[in-house]
Amino acid sequence: MRPERLPEDHYNEAIEFLTGVFPRSQDAPIVSRELRHWKYYVPHPFAKQSRCYVFRDEEGLTAHAGFSPVQYATADGIRTSFQVIDWAGAPRRPGAGFLLFQALWKEADSHLGVGGSNDAVRLMRRIPTLRKVDQMVHCAYPLRPWKLLRESPWSWKSPLKLARSWRWRLARKRFNLDRWKATPVERVSEADAALLVPASDGRYAPLRRVPDLVNYWLQCPVAKVRAWRLEYAGAAAGFLVLAFLRKEVRIVDLVVSRPSAPLAEAFSLAIDLAAHDRDVCEVSGASSAAPVIHAMVDAGMIPRGTSEIFLGDPRKVFPPNQPIEVNLTIGDGFYLQAAPPSFLSF
């Protein structure tokens, strides 16, 4: 079988297949026509062509996978990668989903597996060409504990969770943020490109960000995505992107490009900006980069879980001992939300 790109006007075929594989997904985001258009058919700065792939036989579709492109900025140049999303195989063709994933490996220098269902993680662990390279740490901060209580299912543990959320909220260190300024931007220009390069000092392979990638995020149809240009001590210092979802805000990306600008203070600023929406209960973020994790914790965010990261690197483009950066911009991490929301800080 050879993978084929599924045209956008085959929406009904795709949805019939996916809801057949995932029977309780009829009202899930996976079936949203608008979301599929953005994920797979709106031009992406790292993949101009459509990004929905399928296998089929004489009876119809046998596998489905979305190609979510990623790039890394390494000392040896730009390296390409991807993660599959909306990944499914027909029960009548066991292994078809994996074979489609395997067929896409040649489309990039490397391929990623980040978290996912228990079945997906078990599969990743069994693929000999994939190696576990790190884990992404999920952190959260409770903005409004009482609202978290009202929006969460009640159980005998609820009063204890409320008390814990209040303790976490009150323990947050309050930085003096007078030297910081956040300016909202509707669209990012090429003049901002340098602000999207994190001051990582070679401690990890950073994700490559370009202005058009941020602009692509801003078009997401299922989240209100907003961006700010950051200044520190009167000089441009980076970018912040937040996704406002139902009752929660996720830190899509936070880049500090000036080594002198404290990253923990930037995360504290992100928490304050998220809190301006009075309907929001919680702000969360995730990263595999140690300096970013430490900064989130220093800003008062609480580590609340991890996602395993698997890397397939057939062309050996990454040094074996160098960590790679993974965050919520990869796959569907910043916009996919359960109904009702599930909160990390409660």
pLDDT for 188 equals: 97
pLDDT for 24 equals: 79
* Same-domain pairing of 85 and 159: no
Rounded Cα–Cα distance for residues 283 and 277 (Å): 11
* Same-domain pairing of 98 and 145: no
* Same-domain pairing of 92 and 146: no
| Counted domains in the chain | 2
- Indicate whether 70 belongs to any domain: yes
Nearest to 97 by CA among 57, 53, 50, 64: 64
pLDDT of residue 124 exceeding 90, the answer is: no
CATH number at residue 263: 3.40.630
CATH number at residue 23: 3.40.630.30
28 φ, ψ (degrees, to nearest 5)? -80, 160
Region 22-41 average pLDDT: 89
Region 80-90 average pLDDT: 94
- Indicate whether 29 belongs to any domain: yes
- Indicate whether 129 belongs to any domain: no
Q: Which residue has the higher pLDDT, 27 or 49?
A: 49
* Same-domain pairing of 193 and 235: yes
Rounded Cα–Cα distance for residues 204 and 190 (Å): 25
Query: How would residue 49 be classed by pLDDT, with cut points 50, 70 and 90?
Result: very high
* Same-domain pairing of 101 and 154: no
* Same-domain pairing of 91 and 162: no
pLDDT of residue 27 exceeding 80, the answer is: no
pLDDT for 154 equals: 95
Predicted TM-score (pTM) of this structure: 0.95
pLDDT for 151 equals: 95
DSSP characters for 140-176?
Answer: EEES-HHHHHHHS---TTHHHHHHHHHHHHHH-----
Please give the mean pLDDT across all residues of the chain: 94
pLDDT of residue 117 exceeding 80, the answer is: no
- Tens-place pLDDT, residues 241-250: 999 999 999 9
Q: Is 141 left (phi over 0), alpha (psi -120 to 50) or beta?
A: beta
- Indicate whether 271 belongs to any domain: yes
* Same-domain pairing of 105 and 173: no
pLDDT of residue 280 exceeding 90, the answer is: yes
Query: How would residue 47 be classed by pLDDT, with cut points 50, 70 and 90?
Result: very high
pLDDT of residue 28 exceeding 90, the answer is: no
- Indicate whether 327 belongs to any domain: no
- Indicate whether 176 belongs to any domain: yes
pLDDT of residue 127 exceeding 90, the answer is: no
- Indicate whether 256 belongs to any domain: yes
* Same-domain pairing of 149 and 282: yes
* Same-domain pairing of 283 and 180: yes
Helix, strand, coil percentages in the chain from 3-state DSSP, rounded to 5: 30, 30, 40
pLDDT above 70 covers what percent of the chain?
Answer: 100
pLDDT above 90 covers what percent of the chain?
Answer: 86
pLDDT of residue 80 exceeding 90, the answer is: yes
Q: Which of 109-118, 190-199, 281-290, 298-307 has the lowest mean pLDDT?
A: 109-118
Query: How would residue 85 be classed by pLDDT, with cut points 50, 70 and 90?
Result: very high
* Same-domain pairing of 170 and 288: yes
* Same-domain pairing of 286 and 188: yes
Per-residue tokens: 304: 């609340």
pLDDT of residue 276 exceeding 90, the answer is: yes
Region 304-316 average pLDDT: 95
pLDDT for 284 equals: 98
pLDDT of residue 48 exceeding 90, the answer is: no
* Same-domain pairing of 229 and 297: yes
Report CA 74 to chain centroid distance, whole Å: 20
pLDDT for 173 equals: 93
Report CA 218 to chain centroid distance, whole Å: 14
Domain containing 147: what range?
A: 137-309
Report angle CA 12, 342, 275 to the nearest 5 degrees.
110
